[in-house]
Amino acid sequence: MTKRQRIVVVGHGMVGHRFAQAAVERGLTETHDVVIFGEEPRAAYDRVALTSWFGSGSDALSLLPGGEYDDPRVRLVLDSVVTEIDRAARTVTVVSPPSAVDDLLANPGAVTVHEYDVLVLATGAAPFVPPVEGRGKDGCFVYRTIEDLEAIRAASAAATSGVVIGGGLLGLEAANALVQLGLDTHVVEMAPRLMPVQLDGAAGATLVRHIERLGVSVHTGVVTEAILGDHSEGGAAVTGLRLRQAGTEAGAPTEVVDAQVVVFSAGIRPRDVLARECDLEVAPRGGVLVDEQCRTADPHVFAIGECAAPGGTMYGLVAPGYAMAEVVVDALLDGPGTFTGADMSTKLKLLGIDVASFGDAFATTDGALELTYADAVAGVYKKLVVSDDGRRLLGGILVGDASAYGVLRPMVSSGLALPDNPEQLILPASSGVQLGMPDEAQVCSCNDVTKADILHAVTEQGCETVADVKQCTRAGSTCGSCVATVKNVIEDHFASVGKVVDKGLCEHFRLTRQELFDVVAVHGYRRFDDIVAAHGTGRGCDVCKPAIASILASQTSSHILEPATAELQDTNDAYLANIQRNGTYSVVPRIPGGEITPDKLIVIGEVARDYGLYTKITGGQRIDLFGARMEQLPAIWRRLVDAGFESGQAYGKSLRTVKSCVGSTWCRFGVQDSVGLAIALELRYRGLRSPHKLKGGVSGCARECAEARGKDFGVIATEKGWNLYVGGNGGATPAHARLLAGDLSTETLVSYLDRFLMYYVRTADRLQRTSTWIDQLDGGLDRVRSVVVDDSLGLGAELESEMARHVGGYEDEWRATLEDPAKLARFVTFVNAPDTPDPSIAFTTERDQIQPIAPALIPVGAPA
Amino acid sequence: MTTVAVSLTPVCAADAIPLEGGVAALVDGAAVAVFRSFDGSVFALSNVDPFSGASVLSRGIVGTRGDAPVVSSPMYKQAFDLRTGACLDDAAVRVTAYDVTVVDGVVHVGPARVVS
């Protein structure tokens, strides 16, 4: 038996992690031990999605949430820096942090030496900071690690304006982050256009228009002459940038941009210093020179990812790095795999704008022809580069609408013949055209997953959903841009084999809730009978009937106990109260924003006392009265309505409360009137029927005492207005709301909220909370932002007018019920003995209040 | 099935029961849920939901499962066949079904059915 070999991996970024995963999956750990040294304090995380850290935190980004690999033969050592490689002795020297901070001066860290049989360098790249005067001032950052983001966020708290130096992919990501942090944001790019590596002039100009509309100022064709600082307090904080036209000499006129935060994003440089120091050759522009198996001149040393330069070229994308990791594992297993270059295609969403560039985007191939489509009004630019005979697609650029990317990019890599009228591929009318994609077409470029791989997962591995396929193949698990294509491949396959992928509500309807919503709107249905006759089977059930009742309520504003809809309601809606475990109900009067007068408090107390109800203050700043018998409800409401209360809609799927703190009225930190806004919003959206219950919150300052980010919509006051967060909830799967738009006037806030809520009411599935709804929309939060903020579908006015109709048509359901004898008729326990209370309801007393005595259960299997 | 000594209790007018809805009635001290299905047929089951013990079945949603007319409990949503009281979600559970008849527009509830 041969001795086990030891692999040392330097660096635990995305590529180092992929190497370890592949080593485990492909059985390399049967013969090799793997030790990985990572210098960051945490295990590998999704650096591509770094900006989402602001919304979701570091745990969500982690690629190894437990911090350990399942395979004990792979050991991860964090917080450790490899400082030296001794190729002759085949050892690396590692400095780990001292065990206690106090030791720091005496002992800068534990130094250990580790032997290797195979060394894999995966040290990645470092941001390039150009030698600009003043670049060391406080407030200057790079954009690479979670620690960088933490520092940027801390500095932004006291800042109003920020500048990103560099208008490439990463620079625009960083600008996105600054916008999210509420800064006036500028982007400075030396080239005459944004994303100069990926986009041509027309595409860059289109992108600028999109970005400027979001409030980001774009400065192209300028160089940063100096970073200006403030020395007044002995420190050296950034105050701004001095810019000069590119191509002019020093002394030419300059422009000053104020900023307290500066982020450098002017490219990256391979971290190849370890290799240089041990005399391994590097490429002229940096990066460890390796062959097609990613092996250096030393057969025991490999380099992968951004620190490597296969054939002299360094690749600054994650997909080639992943491919290199796989190639090295293959090489160590004596496999034939080689790395011979990578698809540099990119598709991303920047600030909610689709941008894609793929293949020969600049038409450098001999005889290449360009087809372009531009719609300056809509901000769409599309270009196809085709071969001189018009038969093959060579590349292209898409800005503003990249929906065709999933079809087009595989056509480049597969060489599939173009249709006779290739312009059809980019004209707006073609958006629905489905083109057959060859099996070998690469769907997920981050993880190199082909259409065939996805089909294999579906046909051989039992995958049925995107989530299954993600788990099985990793497709869509890195940047996520291919998820829609993955979904199409899966659905096309099931359609082709005649399997109906059932998205229907229940056995009575094959339609989804969204489809039903549209059907009802188009036909103007008002009765369940008409809907089930035309679009369903049978007579409905407890799933479809309440869903249709909710849809009808959203579209008509008529009282939910009208004869056409009364029998569709779940018991809570049917009795305008919440059923409890013993068949009694709880009564919850509306207390908008949690603000209530002493007189009203006294009324609630009196009602509870007179009817012997249990009272409890709820989490939503209301007072819940428990233990009311069904036949008592109208009399209880009468007292409450007379005192000026109305139904709190605690029943049903509808707006519950808008929680608030005391805001600027009382709180010494409050910057806006959170109570006033919370009351206004609660009254505006009260009674709105929705796919799931809805809650809101308004906090008067960033201390967030109203816990607004735990709500479906959360509003947090800033000095400049309101920040709007959406998609939060408590419950079984808690979610933090994410920023939709910042520094809004009250008027703009309300219009965005109107649109957001109506868009949700229209399109979400039954019982789908806003958080999952957003996650399952193609494009996620960016999609919501494009519809709500940018009005990309042109639906804004329609959604707002639907909400206006709801607001105008609101009536208090308790009061309306009390005024209608026909509706009151249902509130009797026994139809033939209206004065006899339900004998099965009984109470005991605990802590001076009633509590239900559990009814005797009938033993299962022994029917009464 | 053998029926002896039929006693019928009049409970309400048939059209006092909403179509595809239910009401509760007191019959010889027992809470009975009386339903009307879509075609106007009248059914009677014990009002007590066996899964919660609460007297609430008359407040459930009436519909169909396959060809069976059903009510789903407002508590935990199990469906019960209106004709037999059989729980369609748990074969071990059944609620009492009552004979029921409409005479001159008035619903009469009879004795509990013996199910063999």
Across the beta sheet with B42-46, the strand order is B9-13, B106-112, B97-103, B42-46, B30-36, B21-27
Separation CA A229–CA A136 (nearest Å): 10
The model's confidence at residue A231, banded by pLDDT at 50, 70 and 90, is low
CB contact under 8 A, A864 and B90: no
CB contact under 8 A, B23 and A831: yes
Which amino acid is located at A244 in the chain? Answer: R
Residues 6+ apart with CB under 8 A from A457: A463, A468, A469, A472, A473
Q: Locate A506 and state its tokens.
A: 């229940």
Q: Give B59→chain A minimum CA distance, Å.
A: 6
Residues of chain B in contact with residue A840, where contact means CB-CB under 8 angstroms, are 31, 48, 53-55
Angle at the Cα of A621 from the Cα atoms of A853 and A669, rounded to 5 degrees: 150
Instruction: Say what the pLDDT of residue A214 is.
Output: 80
Of A316-320, A565-569, A637-641, A811-815, the one with minimum mean pLDDT is A316-320
Q: Are A221 and A245 in contact (CB under 8 A)?
A: yes
Q: Give B106→chain A minimum CA distance, Å.
A: 12
Separation CA A218–CA B64 (nearest Å): 62
Q: Are B23 and B33 in contact (CB under 8 A)?
A: yes
User: CATH homologous superfamily of domain B16-99?
Assistant: Rieske [2Fe-2S] iron-sulphur domain (2.102.10.10)
Residues written for chain A: 864
Place of tokens 């919509």: A713
Q: Give A379→chain B minimum CA distance, Å.
A: 50
Instruction: Please tell me if residue B62 touches chain A, with a CB cutoff of 8 Å.
Output: yes
| Mutation to test the A interface, candidates B15, B27, B38, B55, most A Cβ within 10 Å | B55
- Give the β-pairing of A655-660 and A694-699: parallel
CB contact under 8 A, B90 and A841: no
Q: Give A618→chain B minimum CA distance, Å.
A: 22
The model's confidence at residue A480, banded by pLDDT at 50, 70 and 90, is low
Q: Locate A851 and state its tokens.
A: 């509590």
A571, A833, A839 member nearest B59 (Cβ): A571
Q: Locate A712 and state its tokens.
A: 């479906």
Instruction: Please tell me if residue B97 touches chain A, with a CB cutoff of 8 Å.
Output: no
Place of tokens 């806030």: A749
CB contact under 8 A, B26 and A540: no
Average pLDDT over residues B6-20: 90
Residue pairs between chains A and B whose CB atoms are closer than 8 Å: 132
Separation CA A441–CA A448 (nearest Å): 10
Q: Are A558 and A765 in contact (CB under 8 A)?
A: no
Nearest chain A residue to B14 by CA distance is: A831
Residues of chain B in contact with residue A570, where contact means CB-CB under 8 angstroms, are 61, 74
Complex confidence, ipTM? 0.93
Residues of chain B in contact with residue A830, where contact means CB-CB under 8 angstroms, are 24-26, 31
Place of tokens 């109203």: A706
Q: In angstroms, how far is CA A213 from the centroid of its own chain?
A: 22
CB contact under 8 A, B61 and A579: no
Backbone φ, ψ for residue A579 (5° rounding) = -70, 140
Angle at the Cα of A398 from the Cα atoms of A396 and A399, rounded to 5 degrees: 150
Nearest chain B residue to A575 by CA distance is: B59
Residues of chain B in contact with residue A839, where contact means CB-CB under 8 angstroms, are 29, 31
Instruction: Please tell me if residue B109 touches chain A, with a CB cutoff of 8 Å.
Output: no
State what percent of residues in chain A have pLDDT above 90. Answer: 55
Residues 6+ apart with CB under 8 A from A418: A386, A390, A391, A392, A393, A411, A425
Sketch the domain layout of chain B as residue ranges. Answer: 16-99
CB contact under 8 A, A508 and B48: no
Instruction: Say what the pLDDT of residue A61 is.
Output: 86
Residues 6+ apart with CB under 8 A from B36: B14, B17, B18, B19, B20, B21, B22, B42, B43, B62
pTM of whole model > 0.90?
no
Nearest chain A residue to B70 by CA distance is: A541
CB contact under 8 A, A864 and B50: yes
Residues 6+ apart with CB under 8 A from A400: A206, A210, A353, A354, A375, A378, A379, A380, A381
Instruction: Say what the pLDDT of residue A104 is.
Output: 46
Q: What CA–CA distances, in Å, run from A797 to A110, A210, A515, A553, A775? A: 64, 21, 21, 20, 24
Whether residue A735 has pLDDT greater than 70: yes
- Give the β-pairing of A380-386 and A393-399: antiparallel
Residues of chain A in contact with residue B52, where contact means CB-CB under 8 angstroms, are 581, 583, 855, 857
Q: pLDDT digits over A101-148, tens only?
A: 444 455 556 788 999 999 999 999 999 998 888 898 899 999 999 999
Instruction: Please tell me if residue B34 touches chain A, with a CB cutoff of 8 Å.
Output: yes
CB contact under 8 A, B52 and A538: no
B64, B90, B93 member nearest A539 (Cβ): B64
Q: pLDDT digits over A275-299, tens only?
A: 999 999 999 989 999 999 999 999 9
Instruction: Please tell me if residue B64 touches chain A, with a CB cutoff of 8 Å.
Output: yes
Q: pLDDT digits over A566-617, tens only?
A: 999 999 999 999 999 999 999 999 999 999 999 999 999 999 999 999 999 9
Residues written for chain B: 116
Q: At A409, which helix (H) or strand (E)?
A: helix A405-414
Nearest chain B residue to A860 by CA distance is: B93
Instruction: Please tell me if residue B111 touches chain A, with a CB cutoff of 8 Å.
Output: no
Q: How many CB atoms lie within 10 A of CB B41?
A: 13
Q: pLDDT digits over A793-841, tens only?
A: 888 999 999 999 999 989 999 999 999 999 998 899 999 998 888 888 9
Instruction: Say what the pLDDT of residue B2 is.
Output: 46
Separation CA A614–CA A612 (nearest Å): 7
Q: At B27, which helix (H) or strand (E)?
A: strand B21-27
